[in-house]
């Protein structure tokens, strides 16, 4: 691996915000199999030490609806002395008995935002993202509710998540969007069309599950091509997967989830990997 470099910055869409090129997803800190609070805070602090200044959370990152906002409260506690870190949260999911259920009703989104403000301990949420389209609620109504919250000063910037190009275009008819958060990784390119449209519009793209998701990230090195490239660079397979995303587009800010200090440090060091054009071609072929 090349000599270690400082975490480069990337612009969060059309906002005035610049954050570390690699962010952190908070979900593993609050769902099944989560670590202790002290271990979670240690992982967050390790991320900051590596130059990570963007953390993604959601009110629904919890075990069930009895502890809604668990992840937001945890992150707020860890960041008391770190105002430089941008926290993005989401609303639009509920967790009845631990299930994942969409709720895009304007009334729900308003209450969810109020609850997130309290959980995060802020007067305005820097980036509030509509978590997932609700098939029982017109998409424009849900996005419109978030736009109303922005006009009221409760949120600063708006993002959307789990959307198609058509839904992105529909959202833009309602309000300004600075980010899109969709699933994308070496083996899942289903949102490449959304990424392309975001590039054309200057909207940040935040790929979640950039290492294929919880429970499987540790196994991506089983892929022969990925393992061979990692060995050639003196890097981990996870670092190669993140480096591929970083070099795929300069609007991408991967948000790998991590519940352990060592894992988030490993992810952050992906910025030291410079893939060749041959590497990129081989990695592109993995999804074919």
> Which of 159, 157, 196 is CA-nearest to residue 181?
159
Q: Is 128 a catalytic residue?
A: no
Q: Are the C-beta atoms of residues 69 and 115 closer than 8 Å to each other?
A: yes
Inter-CA distances, 238 with 7, 31, 221, 243, Å = 17, 22, 7, 9
Say if strands 86-91 and 125-130 run parallel, antiparallel, or are unpaired: parallel
Catalytic annotation, pick one of 61, 139, 205, 208: 61
Tokens 């240690």 sit on residue: 42
Helix axes 165-172, 192-201, angle to 10 degrees: 30
d(C-alpha 99, C-alpha 78), whole Å: 27
Neighbours of 97 (CB within 10 A): 9
**Catalytic residues, which ones?**
61
């Amino acid at each position: 691996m090349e000599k270690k470099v400082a975490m480069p910055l990337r612009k969060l869409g059309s906002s005035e915000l610049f954050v570390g090129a690699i962010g952190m997803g908070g979900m593993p800190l609050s769902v099944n199999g989560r670590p202790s609070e002290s271990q979670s805070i240690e992982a967050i602090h390790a991320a900051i030490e590596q130059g990570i200044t963007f953390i993604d959370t959601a009110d629904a990152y919890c075990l069930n609806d009895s502890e809604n906002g668990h992840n937001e409260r945890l992150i707020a506690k860890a960041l008391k002395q770190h105002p430089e870190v941008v926290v993005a949260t989401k609303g639009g999911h509920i967790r009845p008995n631990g299930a994942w259920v969409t709720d895009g009703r304007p009334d729900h989104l308003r209450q969810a935002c109020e609850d997130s403000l309290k959980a995060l301990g802020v007067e305005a949420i820097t980036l509030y993202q509509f978590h997932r389209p609700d098939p029982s609620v017109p998409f424009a109504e849900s996005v419109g509710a978030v736009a109303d919250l922005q006009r009221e000063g409760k949120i600063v910037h708006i993002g959307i998540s789990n959307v198609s190009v058509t839904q992105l275009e529909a959202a833009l008819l309602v309000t300004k969007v600075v980010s899109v958060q969709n699933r994308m990784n070496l083996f899942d390119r289903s949102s490449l069309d959304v990424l392309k449209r975001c590039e054309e519009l200057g909207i940040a793209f935040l790929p979640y599950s950039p290492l294929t998701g919880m429970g499987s990230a540790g196994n991506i090195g089983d892929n022969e091509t990925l393992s061979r490239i990692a060995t050639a660079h003196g890097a981990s397979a996870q670092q190669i997967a993140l480096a591929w995303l970083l070099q795929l587009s300069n609007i991408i800010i991967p948000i790998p989830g991590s519940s352990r200090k060592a894992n988030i440090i490993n992810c952050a060091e992906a910025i030291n990997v410079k893939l060749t054009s041959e590497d990129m071609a081989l990695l592109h072929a993995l999804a074919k």
